[in-house]
Amino acid sequence: MPLRDDIKKVLVIGSGPIVIGQAAEFDYAGTQACRALKSEGLQVVLCNSNPATIMTDKAMADKIYIEPLNLEVIKRIIEIEKPDSVLSNLGGQTGLTLSMQLAKEGFLAKHGMKLLGSKPETIDKAEDRQIFKDTMEKIGQPCIPSKVVNTVEDALAFAEEIGYPVIIRPAFTMGGSGGGIAENVDELHEIALNGLRLSPITQVLVEKCISGWKEIEFEVIRDRKGNAITVCSMENIDPVGVHTGDSIVVAPALSLSPREFGMLRTAALEIVEELDVEGGCNCQFALHPDSMEYAVIEVNPRVSRSSALASKATGYPIAKVAAKIAIGYTLDEIVNAVTGTTYACFEPAIDYVVLKFPKWPFDKFVYAKRRLGTQMKATGEVMSIGSSFEQAIMKAVRSIELGMDTLKLKKLREKSDDEIVQQLHECDDERIFVVYEALGRGISFDTIFDITKIDRLFLGKLKNLSDMEKALQSEPLTDALYLDAKRLGFLDSTIERLSSQKVAHPRRAVYKMVDTCAAEFKAQTPYFYSTFDEQNEAAEFIENHKTGKKKILVFGSGPIRIGQGIEFDYCSVHCVWALKEQGCEAVIINNNPETVSTDFDTADRLYFDPLTPEDVDAILEVERPDGVVVQFGGQTAIKLAKYLDQKGVNIIGTGYDSIDAAEDRERFDELLAACGIPRPAGHTVFTEGEALTAAQDLGYPVLMRPSYVLGGQNMIIAHNDKDIVEYMAVITAHNSLENPVLIDKYLMGTEVEVDAICDGKDFLIPGIMEHIERAGVHSGDSISVYPAQNLSEKTRQTIIDYTGKLALALNVRGLVNVQYVVYQDEVYVIEVNPRSSRTVPYISKVTGVPMVDIATRIMLGQSLLEQGYGKGLYKEAEYVAVKVPVFSFEKLHDLDTHLGPEMKSTGEVLGIAHSLEEALYKGLAAAGYNMKRTGGVLITVRDTDKQEVIPIAAKFDGMGFDIYATEGTAHELNRHMVAASVVRKIEEGEPNIMTLFDEGKIDYVISTSAKGRKPARHSVQMRRKAVERSVACFTSLDTANAMANSLKKRHSLGDIELVDICSI
């Protein structure tokens, strides 16, 4: 049936900023949806607060509002734009909850709007724990013994009945937020209390904990006719008890016989039938390892992280099909674009094995609890495709960028067998490596299975890898052994390392196509993965699709992590689009299943593979590109530059030499001296002794960091010798000291950031950004304002001048990012990155200067001036844009929330308005601050801040807030006529700070510490408490000040100006 003609203009609600649990997968889904809708001739109105997304690009929608994702704002947008429908199920939990609220309040009905995607009844049946139970019971689908409760008392009572351990699942939260496993009464009390508070409907499910059962998922898609198919089955290597986002997952499920497989598949289909799903749905089951007993864990009737994985794993575009279903198509009408001759109503057949491996932030956050449970902690993931499980997991391990090329974790070598067995009990991010070590030691499958419940099938396969490592170490490297090792996923460099023998006849990888049908139908999907065979389908494809165009290879940015997120994917994708527009053939290599770059529709060819030199070599050999691009894939792509340069590969754009000049301290210093540009004094050190000498020479405080890092990884401010000693230990734990540690004098000035585009002759600066937080807080964690507000004309000119000098001296062809600190009227350079940066997406959107596009054309030979945007500083936009960072602190336990030089935010939002105050207000609101104008403020700051905090406290006081402070701070405040009540510190006995939190008296916290980091410290504990109670906590006086200013202006979401960025 043709699509409904009563739908002409659709409102799509996005998922907002990247947080742990709701991330890039929704940009991918949202982008597919917008494209699908527009291809049907519909008008699309988009609302998403996250400027780093591809979906908020002018090409994607007709009207784009980068505004707070808030009910009031959405209603206003609806009133302005008058769409006739809203698409609910492609914006994660955020989009879903907002759509449901609009529906339930009758707002949609009142405005004659249709709800597309998921119906409220469907959502309730899945998300409301009680209705879910009842629904499952009705259709005879077994659930785990559980009870829905609204009070802690009821939770405790039920737990008594069914016995511990129990799991708490709060209703309508995301990524398992607020949930957890309770082993006893005390734990249950704490988790239930928190869960009830976080659930928008004060509801949690208390459920018997069946950890250890197999965890199997099915991605299903269904249309309004009732046609339903399962797109993909997935099996979590980590059994029930670990959130699917934190599990290693294999697709398809490998350990199920047809009986279990059929049983669960049918169950999934029956569930979506009963829920009347129209679109995609994820069904999770627990299956007893030794019987046919199973239970439904949860059902998510929307596009999700799993559906992104399933789409990339099978080649079946779930979000696109779901969008078409939402506007009225049925599965048997939607053509399968991959084969061109079949329809979306068929189940993909896979002839390879897919593995998903999560990326955790624990290499950055050394003090955070690493234990994995029901609350997701991973920031991102990689996917790998192989001809065997072993090959797939080996590829995944090198894609995840932990510096490992096999599953052998070096630090486990020293442990005894008993210690290894003990450590198997620790369910954390390193467990799979502990399992591998145990297998290598000959510890029995039974022992390992009893403790971890990881299926023996996988243990067997991991053992194959371990056995191969041993064989390589002890046997002569025959051709047969070598080929087997290649097929198991070993790199040549690994084989040589283990065997201490040279590989006589290196074998090149060949490529197979992902075609949704296991070769049953002829397909022309340009989507490939590597394996070791004779037949090379990529070579065939290239041969059959000769275009004569210039061919450029673009490297992606790997898994999403703090410091390297979706912004880099935005740049990669825009580069590919620009290349295609300029008449080139664009090829992309990446291993992140959540992103738009790995949608095979994006580039002319996609290679889903690890980004190591050997993997890249094989692709270069089959593609023989005319050039490669490394400046849009963050540090992941830059790391390849040296290797590519040595091989003589043509890097278009800024070359390796420039990259090295920027990163190598000595060379960089020389460059600065030659340009006459000052930098904070600094030294390069390799040992603790050298570090202490350097610090004393510079004078405290000093900034310490390893070189060649991203996101300020392991970057710290040291205030004394003790700090140096502590921090050197931390840094050297994670980095081999081939790259030294940099120690610089810390200048406490204003931070300014500039992105520039250069063609080797001229340069263009779309805009200068100023950070609200002074130097010392990583730029990614700072609130960034464009245009810069507080710079003198002299400073501005100096910055423009320095930027130009640097860009030209470094021979930049493309993008460059420079960070400055303005201290006592002097401008100093902090760092220069000759590549795209985090700020490129938002600055491009707000200034209207398509930075990646311009840079790409420069890389292809066009000059800057030819492109018509002029040079020097671009004219200021009429709008002010404020980028506010977003954190996922509630997910990472024991992590100190104190901001510093090491980046901690996972995402960002944008506030855009004609005035700074309004833009700031919108940004803060979009970031999730509730912007309360009354209540209590708790202030406890370090000595060095006690004077500066006074005027800020005065502002809050003036607005009528109750001010609480610890003794030292209170004393100063009161002395300066700001009324503050003294409150006891944690160590001073009750009632104290914590009591105030528990009594709900605190709405904002201003807390700065000289120390911090370690979970035991009271200041850290207090900040963690603020996270738990969802109380805004400012760890920089500058942020607190900005908030105070914003609150004073008395803006509200009802009267702020709404901006359609398509009109900029």
Partner 1 sequence: MVAYGAQRSPAWLVLEDGRVIEGVSFGAKGEQIGRLVFNTACVGYQQMLTDPDSLGQIVVQAFPCIGNYGVNGEDFESPGATVHGLLVREWCEAPSNFRMSGDIGGFMKEQGIVGMCGIDTRALVRAIRDGGEQRCLLTTERPADLAAAVAKIKGENITDGITKTTCDKMESIATENDGPRLAVLDLGCKRSFLDSLRAAGFALTVCPAGTKAQALAGLEAEGVVLSSGPEFGVEPGAYAKQLEEIYKLGLPILAVGLGHVLLGAALGGKVGALTHGHRGANIPVTDLRSGRTVITSQNHGLILESVGAGEVSHRNLSDGSCEGVRYPNAMSVAFIPAYERGHMNTGDIFRAYRTMVKKEEK
Contact residues: partner 1, CB under 8 A: 225-229, 252, 254-259, 261, 266, 269-270, 273, 289-291, 331-332, 341-343, 345-353, 387-389, 455-457, 460-461, 463-464, 467-468, 478, 480-481, 484, 488, 512, 517-522, 533-535
Residue 597's closest CA among 13, 19, 34, 24?
A: 24
Q: Report the binding-site residues for Mg(2+).
A: 284, 298, 300, 819, 831, 833
Which residues fall in the annotated binding site for Mn(2+)? 284, 298, 300, 819, 831, 833
What is the torsion angle, in degrees rounded to the nearest 10, for the CA atoms of residue 481, residue 485, residue 486 and residue 487?
Answer: 100
Closest distance between partner 1 and the C-beta of residue 316, in Å?
Answer: 11
Beta strand 962-965 pairing with 936-940: parallel
**Closer to partner 1 at the Cβ: 306 or 314?**
314
Q: How many residues does the chain have?
A: 1064
> Over 312-368, what HEC string results?
HHHCCCHHHHHHHHHCCCCCCCCECCCCCCCECCCCCECCCEEEEEEECCCCCCCCC
- Interatomic CA distance for residues 774 and 851, integer angstroms: 27
Which residues does residue 233 pair with via DSSP β-bridges, in sequence order? Answer: 218
Phi, psi at residue 291, to the nearest 5°?
A: -160, -175
Residue 192 CB: number of other CB atoms within 10 A? Answer: 27
Closer of 419 and 467 to partner 1 (Cβ): 467
**657 — phi, psi (to 5°)?**
-60, -40
What's the CA gap between 1036 and 960, in Å, rounded?
A: 22
**Between residues 252 and 701, which has the closer beta carbon with respect to partner 1?**
252
CB of 467 to partner 1, least distance (A): 6
Q: Which long-range contacts (CB under 8 A, 24 or more apart) does 128-134 make?
A: 128/171, 128/172, 128/201, 128/203, 129/169, 129/171, 129/203, 129/204, 129/205, 130/203, 132/298, 132/299, 133/205
Using the minimum distance from each CB to partner 1, give the nearer residue, 482 or 961. 482
Q: Counting beta carbons within 10 angstroms of the beta carbon of residue 500, is it exposed (0 to 12), middle (13 to 18) or buried (19 or more)?
A: exposed
User: Which residue, 520 or 948, has its beta carbon nearer to partner 1?
Assistant: 520
Nearest approach, Cβ of residue 858 and partner 1 (Å): 42
- Name the binding residues: 129, 169, 175-176, 208, 210, 215, 241-243, 284, 298, 300, 705, 745, 747, 751, 776-779, 819, 831, 833
Minimum CB distance to partner 1 smaller for 470 or for 933? 470
Query: Position 497: which residue type?
Result: R
- For residue 839, the minimal CB distance to partner 1 (Å) is 44
Contacts with 631 (C-beta within 8 Å, 6 or more apart), sequence order = 637, 638, 653, 654, 814, 815, 834, 835, 836, 855
What is the nearest approach in angstroms of partner 1 to the Cβ of residue 238?
A: 16
Nearest approach in angstroms of CB 480 to partner 1 is 5
Helix H or strand E segment including 208: strand 204-208
Q: Which is nearer to partner 1, 245 or 301 (CB)?
A: 301
24: Cβ contacts below 8 Å, ≥ 6 apart: 18, 308, 380, 560, 565, 566, 569, 592, 594, 595
Question: Least distance from C-beta 565 to partner 1, angstroms?
Answer: 33
- Alpha helices by DSSP H, 47-142: 71-81, 92-104, 107-110, 120-127, 129-138
- Least distance (Å) between residue 121 CB and partner 1: 20
Residues 6+ apart with CB under 8 A from 3: 40, 324, 327, 328, 329
At 305, list the tokens: 């992280």
State which residue, 196 or 272, has the beta carbon closest to partner 1: 272
Binding residues for ATP: 129, 169, 175-176, 208, 210, 215, 241-243, 284, 298, 705, 745, 747, 751, 776-779, 819, 831
Taking the complex as a whole, the smallest distance from the CB of residue 576 to partner 1 amounts, in Å, to 28
Question: Using the 8-state DSSP alphabet, how is residue 375 labeled?
Answer: S
HSE-CB of 611 using CA atoms within 13 angstroms: 29
Residue 391 is classified by DSSP as H
- Rounded Cα–Cα distance for residues 671 and 655 (Å): 16
Q: Closer CB to partner 1, residue 341 or residue 790?
A: 341
Residue with tokens 């802690």: 152
The smaller minimum CB distance to partner 1, of residues 72 and 533, is found at 533
Euclidean distance between CA atoms 533 and 27, whole angstroms: 35
Q: Which is nearer to partner 1, 28 or 511 (CB)?
A: 511
Instruction: State the minimum distance, in angstroms, from the CB of residue 286 to partner 1.
Output: 15
Residue 497: CB minimum distance to partner 1, A: 20
255 by DSSP, 3-state: which?
coil
- The least distance separating partner 1 from the CB of residue 530, rounded to whole angstroms, comes to 13
Residue nearer to partner 1 on the CB measure, 481 or 800: 481
Q: Report yes or no: 528 and 513 within 8 Å, Cβ to Cβ.
A: yes
Contact at 8 Å (CB) between 644 and 651? yes
Residue 300 CB, nearest distance to partner 1 (Å)? 19
Cα three-residue angle 760-764-770, rounded to 5 degrees: 130
Which residues are registered as beta bridge partners of 590? Answer: 608
Please, which residue, 385 or 859, has the CB nearer to partner 1?
Answer: 385
